[in-house]
Structures are given as structure tokens and as C-alpha cells.
Amino acid sequence: MSLVDSAAIKRLADWDGDRLERLAAAHDTPLYVTDHDRIRENFARFDAAFDFAHVMYAAKANTGRAVIQTLYDAGADIECAAAGELDRALKAGVAPEDLQYTAVNPPDRDLDYAVDLWADTPELTITAGAEMTLDRLESRGFDGRLAIRVNPGIGTGHHEKVATGKDAKFGVAYDEVPELVADARERFEFVGLHAHVGSGVLSGDLDDHRRALQKVADLAERVGSLEFLDLGGGFGVPYRPEEPPLDIEAAAEMVREVTDGVDATIALEPGRYLLADAGALLTRVNTVKETPETRVVGVDAGLTALIRPAMFDSYHHIRNVTGGDREPVESSVGGPLCTSADVFCTDRPIPRAEANDLLAIGNVGAYGINLANQFHSQPKPGEVAIEGDDERVTRRRETFEDLTRLEDEVPGDQ
């Protein structure tokens, strides 16, 4: 099977259970496992479908050094939404000329970093989403490659919190763009328009996505003289086991049709599509409690390890790796944190979990470990990369010493 012809989605059931058990025993839990072969397969499939476009990786999905290196080596340039992501990409070996910086209400220190980087690498493109950002860039001496982010007023995706195309926080209001473009052409090397209208787009969302992208493409034709039109990312993967995967060929054909009249390079920034199904989170059962309402299954991972269910009410499939052949029992799986939000599922049929069972949570490769936090002073999980038969730690597990390290390093008496 070629990379391009690989399965459109890696289901949680496709992960080797014996290998997951071995990794959990060797590296403890909670533990992120990232399949880098799968990342390459996903990129190859996407790149082949969108063979008419310039494909970048939206680093915010997972800024792990090993992940960035894998995608950069596969041929993806890197799109960064913050200066910290620029820094991480550089430390992963990405050449500055292969970076694009998409600023969202950038702090002064972020703009300072980006402009300093541009001073040494004039190929760097900076995308601005507000008129004031242009003024702030000019005040720093920047007169280089600039793109403007468009807010088309239409959002798509799996949740209102990611439907960025209709959120005033993101981009310049649609009708104001032509005037701002004229201004930008006077002050900078204006090179393109950018838009990202939402995330988690599946086949059933393509008509809505088409309407949003069509507005942006129409604006690009109206503005004219563009080097590129960047349509962001947004293409999703199914999180529920019964959901079909995105028809990536249909998605590519839709984008091709929408942009047919645009005389510019079409750019795309997939993130979730490349990473989501390449990650699994392993967690160990420590407590089982029968209640009149449900069977409570307590595990050692919490919203500190995976916050998406609490933040977005996201569904993540859960597999009992140890006892997968047992009778399913309606169970509520939750972590060790003192909040009712710390649950991964409620009353979901799962093969009957017992103490010390290993559970795997699927589709966590995108926005999983990147959103990990230290609430309740929980150390962040470790991460292991698998490639063929090889396994290596790419992010060590935090310790209690890590939790207080920055406080311990403060000089003087405390």
C-alpha cells in the first residue's frame, strides 16, 4: 500500500493493542503515542489530492519538535500563529524562508520577534488581521512581505468556538479589505490574502465550506495582483467510529472549482487532518465505583492531559485495550481533578473496565498534548513516537520538580 493509497482514517481499533500495553508498561501513563508513519501517510494523501496548491502545516495543531521535523522533511512548509511557534519551528530545523507567520492580536514581543527574524530573512511572510497591526509593523521598520487576513462573515466547522470565519476576532471585515489592501500596497510588499473559516470540516459540511471560500475567492479576483490566496485549513477527520472519513478528493475538487478564476498560487494549511488520527492517549484505570446513576471509571489522565472534551464537548472514542472482549457496560470515565468537567465520556458503553486496565483515547494527535496544562499541579504527560518497529521518547514526562522549576529559579529570597 502506497502512502497516497493508505486508509483515509486510522480508527482506534487499528492500533496494535499489544504494543500499546508494552508502551504503557515501559513509559507509564498517561502517555501520548504518536504514529509518525501515519503522519506521513496523511500528508502524502492530502498533498496528492491538492496537487494544485502549496501545502503548509498549521503548527498550532501540534508543535512537537518531532512532528514538525517529520512534516517538514515530508515537504510541508510551516505556518505559525505565534512567535513561540516560529521559535519552535526554527529549533526543529525549519529554514526561516519556509515559515509563514499569521498574527492574531499579536503581543509586542511577538511582533518584535517576527520583525527581527524578517530582518535576517526577508522571505518571511507576515499575515495581519487588523489595520492596527499594519501600523505596528511599520513602526518597527517592517516593509516586507505582507498578507491580509479576511473575515468572510461565514464560519464552518464542528463547533462554534472554531468557526473563525464569522468571529470578529479573526481578520479584517470583508467589505473593508479592498481599501486596506490599497493602503498595504503603499507601505509593504503586499503578496496575498488569507482566510481560515473553521475547523473539523467533513463531507457533509463541504457545501457550507464552499460558500465561505467562494466569498474569499471572489474578493481575491476583485483585489487582483496576488502572489497567493491562502485558504487556511479546516479539513477534519471523523471522531466517532461510525462516522465516514472526509472525501478528500471531493474536497480538493471543490477548492479547485472555487478558485478557478483566481490568478494566484492557492495555499492551504492543514493541521488536524494530518495529525488527529496519528495520536492516541493511554491512561490507566485506578478506581471503579458503582453508583445508582452510572459506573464510574476513574483514570490517571484528566483534562490536564486532554482538555478537548471539557473545552469543546468533543467526542473521543475510548477503547479498553486490556479487556476489549468483555461485555460493554455504560460507564462514565473521568480523571483525578476536582471539577465535574474532568470527564471523557458519560454513560457510554465500554467493555467492562476493571482496576489497572489500560484504556486508549483516540484521535488526540491534533490539539491534544498542545493543550495540556498543569491544573491541580498535574505534571504533563510524556510522548512516544513510533515509526515502523522503532519507538523513541520525544517528550519526557514532567515531574513535580518541573512544576516548581520556574519559581525555584527566581533570584533572591522568596
Residues listed for the chain: 414
User: What letter represents residue 181's amino acid?
Assistant: V
State yes or no: 45 annotated in a binding site.
no
**DSSP assignment letter at 235:** B
- The grid coordinates of residue 136 equal 505596528
Beta strand 295-299 with 279-290 is antiparallel
In this structure, the strands spanning 145-151 and 189-194 are: parallel
| Closest by Cα among 337, 268, 261, 330 to 301 | 337
Q: What are phi and psi of 198, to 5 degrees?
A: 160, 175
Cα angle value 219/221/226 (rounded, 5°): 100
Q: Which residue type sits at 145?
A: R
Long-range contact pairs involving 407-410 (C-beta distance under 8 Å, separation at least 24) = none
Q: Are residues 345 and 70 in contact, defined by beta-carbon separation less than 8 angstroms?
A: no
State the Cα torsion 44-50-56-60 to the nearest 10°. Answer: -80
**Is 234 within any annotated ligand binding site?**
yes
One-letter amino acid for residue 274 of the chain: L
One-letter identity of residue 352: R
Residue of 1, 338, 406, 410 marked catalytic: 338
Residue 271 assigned as binding residue: yes
CB 281 within 8 A of CB 361: yes
Name the strand (E) or helix (H) holding 394: strand 390-395
Residue 270 marked in a binding site: yes
For the question of residue 338 being annotated catalytic, the response is yes
- Is-contact 307 386, C-beta < 8 A? no
Report the alpha-carbon distance of residue 62 to residue 71 in Å, rounded: 11
Q: Are strands 279-290 and 77-80 parallel, antiparallel or unpaired?
A: unpaired
**265: how many CB neighbours lie within 10 A of its CB?**
16
Check whether 38 is labelled as a binding-site residue.
no
Q: Is 269 annotated as a binding residue?
A: yes
Q: Which three cell numbers stand for residue 228?
A: 497567493
Annotated binding site for pyridoxal 5'-phosphate: 234, 269-272, 367
Summarize the annotated binding site as residue ranges: 234, 269-272, 308, 367
Instruction: Give the residue numbers marked as catalytic.
Output: 338
Give the annotated binding-site residues for substrate. Answer: 272, 308, 367
